[in-house]
Amino acid sequence: MPLSYNFPFICIFLCMVSAILLSVVRGAKLSYYVTLAVAIACTVLSVIFLFDIVRDDVSFAFTMGKFPAPFGNEIAGGPLQAMMCSVFCGVMAMALLGGKKELFEDVDEKKMGLACVMFNMVLASILVLSYTNDAFTSYVFIEISTIAACALVMIKDSGPTLMATIRYLFMSLLGSGMFLFSVILLYGITGHLLMPQISEKVAELMAMGDQRMLLALCLGMMAASLGVKAAMFPFHRWLPDAHGTATTTSSAVLSGLVLKGYCMLMILFFCRVFTLETVREFHINDVVFVLGLAGMIVGSVCAMRETHAKRMLAYSSVAQLGYVFMGIGLGTVAGIAAACFQMLAHACTKSLLFVSVGRLSSTTGHDKQLAALRGSAWNAPLAGVGFAVGALSMVGIPLFGGFAAKVFFASASIADAEKIVLTLAVLAVSSILNALYYIPALIGIWSHKRPAVHEAEWDVACAIAITVLCLGIFALGIGFSPVMDILVRGVELL
Amino acid sequence: MLELIVDNRYTLTAVILFVVGLGNMMLHPNLIKKVVAFNIMDAATFLLLASRGFIEGRTAAILTDGGANVALYVNPIPAGLVLTGIVVSVSVSAFSLALIQRIYGSYGTIDMNELLEIMKKKGE
């Protein structure tokens, strides 16, 4: 086994250990830089792992502890997980860099260490949700991710963020309760917790036509619970408050990454545990598909009515997650690969937008109303360019990542004669709706110059983050074909 | 019918408790009661798990003086899962109670409806 095959475990371990250590560290700067270093280290390790696993073209199980399957715990790595996690870790590092200034302003210096614990735990849980091969471990990390994500919302510690956190928390608890219930039902039916073993048993039961009602119930509950956590329409009401009121880094991490962890888990359960044939047979994918389409439209319509820049971006996340669910709902390898591509593009784009808005609003005295941000791009040009790149990618202009994702969705839908019309129509409508709120916002921030409320000094960290994320979007938009090849192969190997 | 109910009494109780918890968590305006409801929901899941994992007439898999006869013991994994689940639910409860305390400190109430009204008045 090549050395790099240990890297997924090392990444997870690194995040957890640093989280534990940081809980006793008091220095604000020290804990911030440790967290940043961990995120960058995870990125590097994941990229090395990605190169090796793509070269070897395999998917493997990594046994943890001394008990082999079916008793012990496992993580599983393949091209799909490696690709996703490389980008997730990279975006995490950039979100930390991009929101650095605001993070130090918003968080009490004494509590910075604890905030960094939460960032580490969020990264660890996203990695585990992507790599895990064990149904119960995924439940435990769903809960860890819930607590960490809620803590990230409330680190700003103002009235509105507390209220947003409590709504987010109860919605999330509902989701994880349902998830636990379905995992236990599944364990009761199959007698296993490791995904390959459950999958074998499910295939056996399906062949015999046994326990179909219970299996359908499990699958439905699982999809619903992960949908609640990933803000699938109609469970999206908590998201704008939570993502719109938090500090810049938190918003970028929550919108860009945390939601994706649950989507990855849904893909794992659909592909590896139940297999796509079973999912299609129970028509769960059709439900996910329709809710995804509804989310695309409703999210955009709500975003159009927003006057607060960050809440607008948060509603836009609902719409963009709708694309992901649409792709999963197509129930084919191509659809799921397109959904994964959309997750990558959205992770880069949404973090970039949040970082840019955070930077722009620092010139207006942290007023994030769209009206207040008018003309602010001239005072912080790089952030203005970042917002422009992000907005154009969201609308779906060629050469930007978002465009490639839309093309892949359209081409994935061709295989399905029933869904192609709906998919293409909603894609078109949703693109227009995206343009209807992103383009006015873009024109607004670049309209005639107004004197800055606060003179923004040059912020190196933010500049690096915006540059890297912009490059990431262009890389996805121009070099989409190798990325997509890896994703398709990864989904096939799941 | 009666036999079916008696045979599945644990599962039935678990489902009823789960629904009670779920309903209260969604509908009750009092935040503390929401946390209690969440705990009821989790307890229902643990009941389901523990009852599924138990076989009448067998004991916990604690080996004494070398008697490793598999037929005497129940599968220890469900018990382990329940313990893990309890740890998770305790930590989530602690987190939510701490959060509710802070909300009470900021707004002076823990009633969701009143809180929403206050938020509306402040225009936040």
What are the domain boundaries of chain B? 2-56+68-122
Closest listed residue to residue A374, CA positions, set A438, A440, A436: A440
Which three-class secondary structure state does DSSP give residue A295? helix
Whether the predicted pLDDT of A90 surpasses 80? yes
Spacing of C-alpha A486 from chain mean position? 19
Mean pLDDT is lowest, of A146-150, A439-443, A451-455, for: A451-455
Of B25, B85, B124, the CB nearest to A159: B124
Which residue blocks in B8-108 are alpha helix, DSSP H?
9-27, 31-53, 77-107
**Residue B13 distance to chain A (closest CA, Å):** 14
How far apart are the C-alpha atoms of A186 and A217, rounded to whole Å? Answer: 10
Residue A492, both tokens: 């096939």
% of chain A exceeding 70 in pLDDT? 100
Chain A positions in Cβ-Cβ contact with residue B103 (cut-off 8 Å): 162-163, 166
The chain-wide mean pLDDT, for chain A, equals 90
A439-445 mean pLDDT: 90
pLDDT for position B121: 85
Tell whether A224 lies on the interface with B, counting CB pairs under 8 A. no
**Residue B15 distance to chain A (closest CA, Å):** 10
pLDDT for position B65: 67
Closest listed residue to residue A429, CA positions, set A343, A354, A319: A319
CATH of domain B2-56+68-122: 1.10.287.3510
pLDDT for position B17: 92
Of residues A41 and B63, the one with the higher pLDDT is A41
Whether residue A73 contacts residue A37, with contact meaning beta carbons closer than 8 Å, is answered with no
Tell me, what amino acid is at A96?
L
Tell whether A436 lies on the interface with B, counting CB pairs under 8 A. no
Tell whether B56 lies on the interface with A, counting CB pairs under 8 A. no
Closest listed residue to residue A100, CA positions, set A276, A249, A222, A282: A249
Whether residue A125 contacts residue A141, with contact meaning beta carbons closer than 8 Å, is answered with yes
pLDDT for position A347: 94
Whether the predicted pLDDT of A225 surpasses 60? yes
Tell whether A143 lies on the interface with B, counting CB pairs under 8 A. yes
CB pairs under 8 A between A and B: 79
Tell whether A217 lies on the interface with B, counting CB pairs under 8 A. no
Instruction: Say if residue A70 is preceded by a cis peptide, omega within 30 of 0.
Output: yes
A359-383 mean pLDDT: 84
**Residue A177 distance to chain B (closest CA, Å):** 7
Tell me, what amino acid is at A493?
L
pLDDT for position A494: 83
Convert the pLDDT of each residue in A332-364 to its tens digit. 999 999 999 999 999 999 999 999 998 888 888
Whether the predicted pLDDT of A1 surpasses 90? no
Chain A positions in Cβ-Cβ contact with residue B42 (cut-off 8 Å): 177, 180
Tell me, what amino acid is at A65?
G
Cα(first)–Cα(last) distance of chain A, in Å? 19
Closest residue in A to B76 (Cα–Cα): A71
CB–CB contact B99 A170 (8 Å): no
CB–CB contact A166 B100 (8 Å): yes
Whether the predicted pLDDT of B49 surpasses 60? yes
Q: Is the ipTM of this complex over 0.85?
A: yes
Tell whether B17 lies on the interface with A, counting CB pairs under 8 A. no
Rg (CA), chain B: 21
How far apart are the C-alpha atoms of A347 and A256, rounded to whole Å? Answer: 4
Whether the predicted pLDDT of A2 surpasses 90? no
Convert the pLDDT of each residue in A203-222 to its tens digit. 999 888 888 888 999 999 99
CB–CB contact A188 B52 (8 Å): yes
Mean pLDDT is lowest, of A324-333, A455-464, B13-22, for: A455-464
Task: Report helix angle A28-56 to A79-98, nearest 10.
Answer: 160
How many CB atoms are closer than 10 A to CB A397?
15
Mean pLDDT is lowest, of A64-73, A133-142, A259-268, for: A64-73
Of A150, A157, A181, the CB nearest to B45: A181
pLDDT for position A290: 93
Question: Given pLDDT bands bounded at 50, 70 and 90, which one contains residue A378?
Answer: confident
Convert the pLDDT of each residue in A283-339 to its tens digit. 899 999 999 999 999 999 999 998 888 899 999 999 999 999 999 999 899 999 999
CB–CB contact A162 B102 (8 Å): yes
CB–CB contact A184 B102 (8 Å): no
Tell whether B81 lies on the interface with A, counting CB pairs under 8 A. yes
Of B21, B25, B45, the CB nearest to A184: B45
Of A150, A166, A173, the CB nearest to B38: A173
Q: Which of residues 148-207 of A touch B (CB under 8 A)?
A: 150-151, 154, 157, 159-160, 162-163, 165-166, 169-170, 173-174, 177, 180-181, 184-185, 187-188, 193
Whether residue A23 contacts residue A117, with contact meaning beta carbons closer than 8 Å, is answered with yes
Question: Given pLDDT bands bounded at 50, 70 and 90, which one contains residue A369?
Answer: confident
Chain A positions in Cβ-Cβ contact with residue B22 (cut-off 8 Å): 174, 177
pLDDT for position B67: 64
Task: Report helix angle A420-445 to A309-330, nearest 10.
Answer: 160
CB–CB contact A143 B92 (8 Å): yes
Mean pLDDT is lowest, of A3-7, A475-479, A482-486, B55-59, for: B55-59
Cα(first)–Cα(last) distance of chain B, in Å? 55
A141-169 mean pLDDT: 88
Whether residue A470 contacts residue A331, with contact meaning beta carbons closer than 8 Å, is answered with no
